[in-house]
Amino acid sequence: MLKIGFLLPPGFQIMGLAAASAFELANTTAREHLYGIGFYSAHGGAVVNSFGASVETQPLARRRLDTLLVCGLIAPAPTDSLTLNRLRAASRLARRTASVCTGTFLLGEAGLIDGRHVTTHWLYARALQQQFPAARVDADRIFINDGPVWTSAGMSTGIDLALGLIEADYGSELAAAVAKKLVVYHRRAGGQSQHSALLELGARSDRIQRVLEYARNHLNSALTVQELAGVANLSPRQFSRAFTTETGQSPAKAIEHLRLEAARLMIEQSRHTIEEIATETGFIDTERMRRAFLRAYGQPPQALRRIARMA
């Protein structure tokens, strides 16, 4: 049996405990006690969460856990020294340490993310990078596994992280079955964006928004800078400058994100062949689409289709 210990700092956000349901259902699905779950804090006793309810905990001192999972707060705040000391000690004894949402800040305060590739809620990703410059923060990932350290984005993505842990422990078949019982997508790959592509781009002006809508409706065409500049009624140079200023991305990168999002939806929800999807979304050929998927999601299109069909 693998023991999962949830570290609950004072004021923890209660949604962080949703991940416990994934481990519970892994047990019932396998009809075997694969996981044990415990709630811990620096002192033990009742810990009040952000909603004002309390959860009874055990003291974390000298606990040997398979996985230490740190719950986050609604907004990052400094952690007391005793909690950090207990966290460091427990992490050294655990096989792996994970965090939900802003729990990554606690890992950072404990010195556990230096040199690591990590994520947190997009709203606080910049602050995380500024506070812990030795970490490599990715603001647009659902969850990240870097060696023994796992981190997730918003509170609900703790479930995605838990499914990832289950898959790492017992395989994709069990993780898919658990996801199905939870009535969640199985499973949002760690590389999946925290936002839709259009929401992420967040154009401010009507002309750039018009360009993005045009691009989304014409993905099977070349969508050159000259073509998009014509939609915006700007010269190519003016358009490229305005587009990058408003969206933070070059036109080429933004179009690739739109193509990826459309292709992924078709792969997961349609019966089109990979070749047809590549053509329909403007990747021209399957090899170019495969390379784009590997860069963005860490998996080729065929693997994502298999995962979707297992759900």
Catalytic residue numbers read: 101
* Structural Rg of the chain based on CA atoms: 22
Q: Which two tokens stand for residue 69?
A: 């999972």
Non-local (6+) Cβ contacts of 276 within 8 A are none
| Phi then psi dihedrals of residue 249, to 5 deg | -135, 155
* H/E run at residue 216: helix 206-217
d(CA 98, CA 165): 10
How many Å apart are CA 73 and CA 130, to the nearest integer? 18
Q: Which residues lie closer than 8 Å to 92 by C-beta, 6 or more apart?
A: none
Determine the angle formed by the axes of helices 286-297 and 301-310, rounding to 10 degrees.
70
Give percent helix, percent strand, percent coil of the chain, each to the nearest 5. 50, 15, 35
Residues in the chain: 311
DSSP state of 142: S
